[in-house]
Structure 1
Amino acid sequence: MKKETARPVILSASRVTDIPAFYMPWFLNRLKEGYSVRINPYNGKRQCLSYEKTRIVVFWSKNPAPLLSAIHTLEERGLGFYLHFTLNDYEQEGWEPGLPSLKKRMQDFRDLSVRLGKERVIWRFDPLILSPLLSFSELARRIMSIGEELVSLTDRLVISFLDISPYKSVIHRLKKGGFPLRTPTEEEEAEFIDLLSRLQCKWKDVNPSFSISLCAERDWESRGIEPARCIDGDLLKKLYPYDSALQDYLKKARKDPSQRPLCRCIESRDIGAYGTCRFACIYCYARFTRVPLLKEDFTKESLSDMIKNTGKKESL
């Protein structure tokens, strides 16, 4: 590996693909080898990431069931980790094709919470989407229904609103497919926030540690909903107080400069690749054309030093 190799303390796995769902064999192999490679999506250059100093992995997934069988290996290697589990209910609309049933995902959430503890499994309902097919009241009902089941299994719910305005490929995809998704209006956002504030108060009676926060959204603290820190130094201080190397790092950790201005995450390095998630959610900014699910691809990928995109960029 070259001298300019980065040695991150925190790995993000991953904001742009689903590593627990599709690439756990690859990731475990990279842990064994001690490094991975990523192509910078902006300049096309190879980036080498050494795991020499890595203490924490933050997983992001819509189907993290494969993580259950990897927990022992991660713990044996002395790695701390927690999980953002995006558990939406857009089954009826078909906006997240390829996912297991809602019932199966909720059972996986329970299993992971029991195994890891409720403070290490974070529930995301992300993004909140409205359309002629899905009214405000129905979306609110679905959030409440899932929340009643999960509130004792997690300490956090993280929410964001759909925002496709920066992503021309997403706008084109939705128009081409006839999907009339839309971002909530300011009035609807305020109504959602008031609902979330009431739910937070209600669910704290069941789990006093429970909170709801907003990911990279404008400030709604005056209405009782705080901004999220998805890669959260305070949470890591609480989870791993005896990891001296991690605690020393957290004392000087800064806001991640590679994220959006309203993001509150501390710095990490993402090990994923655009265009490699196989769920093909219709609103996703990180997808290309749908990547075929081929068993032989998984075998090849697990031996590579990087997650490789086998799809093509969507034409505009």
Structure 2
Amino acid sequence: MIINVGGRTDIVNYYTPWLLNRLKEGFAYSRNPFARENVYKLSLKPEDVDCLLFCSKNYRPILDHIGKIDKDYNILCNYTITAYGKDIELKVPTIDQSVKTLERLSDTVGRNKILWRYDPILLTDKYTVERHLETFEYMAEKIAPLVYRCIFSFVDMYKKVEENMPEIIPFTDEDKVRLLKGIGEISKNCNLYTQSCATDESYEKYNIHAAGCTTREILEHAHNVVYKNVRGRGIRKNCHCIPSRDIGAYNSCLSECKYCYANRKPDIPRKVIKLHDEKSPLLLGHLRPDDNLIETKAISYIEPMQTTLFDF
């Protein structure tokens, strides 16, 4: 079972004490966001977890603990560092601050367990194609030696994104081609393996590889084990990732990114944070009398080790 620590909210940045308590106790509850009476109990015991899949825009709160977690679990760290400033990502560290944190993270767990996420790519009057390429090159030169590969995606224009960020300028075909060519050339010059995310389109002619950020290839490279051939079935359209179970909750990320997919409105997290109790098995609130608690069976995606005569 792959445990997603960052799909619904940035747990690492804002809820590390809660996460450490959950790992210590060996389980967490996860409320179904669509059938809220259903609460799943997920084992966090190392023997039941194939991978702790982290995704965050700031690993500083967990740096002092990530080495110990890495010894106990297979981990994969997605680190999102974009071109945007405080005008779009209100509470996210600056690029240079993030790179310093990434340096420490890479020194601690190894570059093979880190993916740099440059996403989502969106256009405004300020963040033009040229601005993206200039910033991507600046970052790629610094980040390439610290990570296994780079993953990017173009913004998904969900209704809530359109409402919260009306200044987004739609991509033209020419915009996309210029970005793809530029990102591909910069990646080649920096010896950075770059791939797309959440798309069925092929960008191979631009030196950009196929989509999938939690694939067998990536996991096996990170953990030196063999994963089963599990069909990709992620939560976003055209997602090719191995399925995972999320222990977070929507509408609880405090970064206030204007393009956020996981918050309906930017002000909601400031209200729901009052429900957070770092001692509770649930990220938000507690189990209610009418909740349906469901014990989740831990199904491993890792192939059992093959015994040979040389093992005796």
Place the TM-score, normalised by the shorter chain, in its bin.
Answer: 0.7 to 0.9
Does 2:235 correspond to 1:255?
no
Structure 2: which amino acid aligns with 1:43? A
Structure 2: which amino acid aligns with 1:169? K
Q: Paired residue for 2:253, among 256, 272, 277?
A: 277
Aligned to 2:303: none
Structure 1 runs of 4+ aligned residues shifted over 6 Å read: none
Does 2:196 correspond to 1:201?
no
Deviation at 1:126, TM superposition (A): 0.5
Give the alignment's TM-score, normalised by structure 2. 0.83
2:42 & 2:76 partners in 1: Cα distance?
Answer: 20
- Aligned residue pairs: how many? 279
Aligned to 2:171: 184
Cα distance, 1:223–1:105 mapped onto 2, change above 3 Å: closer
Q: Mean alpha-carbon deviation: is it higher for 222-231 or for 99-108?
A: 222-231
Q: Paired residue for 2:208, among 225, 228, 242?
A: 225
Deviation at 1:272, TM superposition (A): 1.2
Q: Deviations over 1:213-258 (max 9, x none)?
A: 00112222233311232112212222323x5xxx3xx2242212x5
Does 2:78 correspond to 1:84?
yes
Instruction: Decide whether the 8 Å contact of 1:216 with 1:227 is kept in 2.
Output: no
Deviation at 1:154, TM superposition (A): 1.6
Instruction: Decide whether the 8 Å contact of 2:184 with 2:207 is kept in 1.
Output: yes
Aligned to 2:165: 174
Q: Between the two structures, name the one with larger relative contact order (CA 8 Å, sep ≥ 6).
A: 2
2:68 & 2:204 partners in 1: Cα distance?
Answer: 40
Cα distance, 1:73–1:293 mapped onto 2, change above 3 Å: farther
Instruction: Decide whether the 8 Å contact of 2:185 with 2:207 is kept in 1.
Output: no
1:293 & 1:41 partners in 2: Cα distance?
Answer: 17
Instruction: Decide whether the 8 Å contact of 2:7 with 2:248 is kept in 1.
Output: yes
Does 2:6 correspond to 1:19?
no
Aligned to 1:314: none
Deviation at 1:293, TM superposition (A): 9.2
Aligned to 2:131: 138
Does 2:144 correspond to 1:151?
yes
Aligned to 1:62: 57
Q: Deviations over 1:23-54 (max 9, x none)?
A: 11111111122211112112222222123411
Instruction: Decide whether the 8 Å contact of 1:14 with 1:272 is kept in 2.
Output: yes
3-state SS of paired residue (1:122):
strand
Deviation at 1:73, TM superposition (A): 3.2
Deviation at 1:191, TM superposition (A): 1.5
Q: Deviations over 1:50-96 (max 9, x none)?
A: 234113101000011122111233145x20102110011211x6100
- Return 5+ residue gaps in structure 1 as ranges: 1-8, 205-209, 310-316
Does 2:99 correspond to 1:106?
yes
Percent identity of equivalent pairs = 27
1:132 & 1:280 partners in 2: Cα distance?
Answer: 20
Aligned to 2:217: 234
Structure 1: which amino acid aligns with 2:251? G
3-state SS of paired residue (1:303):
coil
2:280 & 2:261 partners in 1: Cα distance?
Answer: 25
CA-based RMSD of the aligned residues comes to 2.2
Cα distance, 1:203–1:277 mapped onto 2, change above 3 Å: same
Q: Deviations over 1:158-201 (max 9, x none)?
A: 1111121xx222222224xxxx1124222211111111221122
Cα distance, 1:105–1:202 mapped onto 2, change above 3 Å: same
3-state SS of paired residue (1:145):
helix
1:279 & 1:211 partners in 2: Cα distance?
Answer: 28
3-state SS of paired residue (1:69):
helix
Instruction: Decide whether the 8 Å contact of 1:162 with 1:184 is kept in 2.
Output: no
Cα distance, 1:30–1:153 mapped onto 2, change above 3 Å: same
2:16 & 2:107 partners in 1: Cα distance?
Answer: 20
Instruction: Decide whether the 8 Å contact of 1:162 with 1:182 is kept in 2.
Output: no
Aligned to 2:304: none
Give the alignment's TM-score, normalised by structure 1. 0.82
